[in-house]
Structure 1
Amino acid sequence: MPTNTTETIQLYAKVPVELGGKRLDQVAAQLFPEHSRSRLTAWIKENRLTVDGQIIRPRDTVYSGSELHLTAEHEAQGEWVAQDIPLDIVYEDEHILVLNKPAGLVVHPAAGHPDGTLLNALLFHVPNLIEVPRAGIVHRLDKDTTGLMVVAKTLVAHTSLVEQLQARSVGRTYEAIVVGVITSGATIDAPIGRHGQQRQRMAVIDSGKPAVSHYRVLERFRSHTHTRVMLETGRTHQIRVHMTHVGFPLVGDPAYGGRFRIPPAVNPTLLESLKEFPRQALHARFLELEHPATGKRMKWEAPLPEDFTWLLTLLRQDREAFVG
């Protein structure tokens, strides 16, 4: 059955001495930490949070002993269907869930993908996620990108993870196979926004949002490179756009790969594998963050998927065949 819920929230708190004299939005963020500051600020502006029964602005000062009353409703999360779709769970506790996403799985329902997504699978696995914005999804991977994602299972965890992502303190490291031989690692600092003509694509444009990627060489082949890319920001298609921007598009990338280039004197097996590689060769290998409840720094690793390792094997064989 579709899940469509609206939860009424009623919270009360008295301002302690140490928070007296601060702005209302700052105090509310301290007293109601399960909700993000931006969400609380919106509720204040909608007159849903009162101070001693009075409506005041987010920037107004509150004093110790004042009573805060919040009455609000969570926005309906949508008519999402819980579906029994297998999940490769790497880590799970009562606060967060870390999974290894397979290729071909869309993360969130959208036009053309109303169900059968990771979100639908999460709702089946953890039904209470309907109470968390976007069912706990705080960042995404493209449909055909594999690897690690973290999901918040509570509002407190959601707020913490969003804040860590905004502060760029979440470590997200990917591995990719790109076309071309990279001589050394570098940093790409180039803003990304919607492509001017093709709205489904992203591009490096002056008016885009800041985007920073750091890449280094793991292994070189005759015409390709196995790279590791660390994200500092998290723009849509960031690695795919950035690597194409510097002249090293990802193998198999249908949107940004450009014209297929045939390596010289390549053997038929490798040629066929490069031509038919079914997706962009991109894998979210490492994920590192502070646990929302304990504050402990945690790190996970997801092994390279089979299609990725098979292509690396063929590239190594090709390189060795031409040594000497």
Structure 2
Amino acid sequence: MTHSILPDYSVTASFATENAEDSSDDDLDSLPEAFPSAADGLLSEASLPGAASSGGAGVGAPLSATLPESLAGERLDKALAQCFPEYSRSRLQAWVEDGRVTLDGEAAKVRQKVAGGEAVLITPAALPEQLAFAPEPVPLEAVYEDATLAVFNKPAGLVVHPAAGNWSGTLLNGLLYRYGQAAADLPRAGIVHRLDKETSGLMVVARTLVAQTDLVRQLQARTVKRHYAALVWGRPPQRTVVDAPIGRDPRERTRMAVVPGQGGKPARTRVVTVASAEWEGSPVSLVLCSLDTGRTHQIRVHLSHLGHSLLGDPLYKPRHKRPVLPGEFARQALHAWRLGLIHPDDGRFAHWQAPLPDDLRQLMTTLGLDFDFSTLPDSLDDFFPA
């Protein structure tokens, strides 16, 4: 039996509306709203979506009605749609097919005709979103873990937070399973930033409310060091800074874009090209990126704006036709390979690294790209352009 034990995590519209294709990449825009005092957000169980169903796994509060005589002769599904207009006809049909609807105590059928006057009882199935914030044994790779925080190496394909299209199997579900009530007592189970579904790499998660407050403030102050490796089309400048505001693309609202004027928020990405090669006549490069801000899809948008879209990116495609990638590589070639921050407990700066995942390493080998990450200094402050 699944019981709801969590506070309400749907604290911001921007977080709550991430979709299956593109959750926000280090989206810090909504952090002030997500943690207005960095100490609230612990709401009662009754505030959770689906709290009414916590008494039984997958069961909502019963619905009952008496069918009006005026509906005599109508098919049951049509009659139900008129009696319960707050639910879609397809959902009502599904409940009938699942045996969740009775007429005068007898199991109902979708196409049966009604006589009018029957007593209808519906036992609704809980909606997927009502069961979203439940512990699940999602495999998580911990790079570092103590009583205050944990750093995970997120694989490509893992969604960070439940939302439309991905109500289960997310990082948040895995955190609830791994840490139990301690995670349930934290807003968003301790999550303070995100990566796109198909972006791999490092994420920090708080394990206490004090640590979560501290990490959110570090992210807002831009003192968290976030470094990415990306494979791109073309040969970008060896060292460059992209300082261009990002906002919703006015021509295609599912995308972000460089938007001049008041339509965009300040965004700054520092880029260093460390290797280049050619694939079937088209140049390709490995670039390292450092984020000074954390806008939605920032690296993908800025590199596309430069004319150097990420390999495999389905949303920010190159302006010109490019050759098919080897092995049918089909995700944006982006990996959060290094993360640094001030530890909330002792004030020491700490950093962690995650090697490129197998799919990116294999892609680099096939493309003829080579770079030894171990040659990079511990401090990257002077490595990236100012």
Fold equivalence (TM over 0.5): yes
- Deviation at residue 314 of structure 1 after TM alignment: 1.3
- Please, which of 212, 226, 234 is the counterpart of residue 158 of structure 1? 212
- Identical counterparts, % of pairs: 48
Larger Rg: 2
Separation (CA, whole Å) in 1 of partners of 2:157 and 2:191: 17
Aligned with 2:284 (options 224, 236, 252): 224
| Counterpart among 303, 310, 314 of residue 250 in structure 1 | 310
Instruction: Write out the 4+ residue segments of structure 1 that deviate beyond 6 Å after TM superposition.
Output: none
Partner of 1:240, secondary structure, is: helix
**Structure 2 Cα separation of the partners of residues 221 and 296 of structure 1:** 39
Aligned to 1:38: 36
Q: Name the amino acid aligned to 1:3.
A: S
The one of 239, 248, 251 aligned to 1:194: 248
Give the match for residue 10 of structure 1: none
- State the number of aligned residues: 253
Taking the aligned partners of 1:219 and 1:211, their CA distance within structure 2 comes to 25
Q: 2:178 aligns with which of 125, 134, 140?
A: 125
Distance 1:252 1:2, change over 3 A: farther
Structure 2: tracts of 5 or more residues without a match: 9-33, 50-129, 371-386
Q: Which of residues 134, 159, 165 is equivalent to 1:106? A: 159
1:86-101 pair list within 5 angstroms? 86-101=139-154
Deviations 1:42-66 (A, max 9, x none): x8xxxxxxxxxxxxxxxxxxxxxxx
Residues 166-205 of structure 1: CA distance to partner in whole angstroms, max 9, x if unpaired? 0000000000000001232101111111111322211111
1:38 counterpart SS class: coil
Counterparts in 2 of 1:172 and 1:40: CA distance versus 1, 3 Å: closer
1:81 aligns with 2:81: no
Q: Is the 8 A contact 2:199 2:333 kept in 1?
A: yes
Task: Describe how 1:14-33 pairs up with structure 2 within 5 A.
Answer: none
The TM-score, its normalising length taken from structure 2, stands at 0.62
> What are the equivalent positions in structure 2 for 1:258-297 lying under 5 Å apart?
258=318, 261-262=321-322, 271-273=324-326, 276-297=328-349
- Alpha-carbon distance between aligned partners in 1 of 2:361 and 2:369, rounded to the nearest angstrom: 12
The aligned amino acid for 1:134 is: R
Q: Secondary structure at the match of 1:129?
A: helix
Q: Kindly provide the CA deviation profile for residues 49-88 of structure 1, in whole angstroms up to 9, marking residues without a partner as x.
A: xxxxxxxxxxxxxxxxxxxxxxx95365655011001101
Comparing both structures, which one devotes a greater share of its residues to strand? Answer: 1
Query: Is the 8 Å Cα contact of residues 77 and 130 (structure 1) preserved in structure 2?
Result: no
Q: Closer, same or farther in 2 for the Cα pair 1:201/1:261, shift >3 Å?
A: same
Give, in whole Å, the separation in 1 of the partners of 2:38 and 2:194: 24
Amino acid at match of 1:244: S
Amino acid at match of 2:255: R
Give, as a single letter, the amino acid of the residue that structure 2 aligns with 1:273: P
Deviations along 1:139-189, whole A, 9 cap, x unmatched? Answer: 100000000000011110100000000000000000000000123210111
Q: 1:310 to 1:4 in 2, by over 3 A?
A: same
The answer on 1:312 being equivalent to 2:364 is yes
Higher relative contact order (CA 8 A, sep 6+): 2
1:286 & 1:40 partners in 2: Cα distance? 26
Residue aligning to 2:108: none
After superposition, the C-alpha distances for 1:194-248 in whole angstroms (9 at most, x for unaligned) are 1113222111112111111000011011301100000111111110001000110
Shift of 1:99: 0.4
Amino acid at match of 1:94: A
Code of the aligned partner of 2:367: L
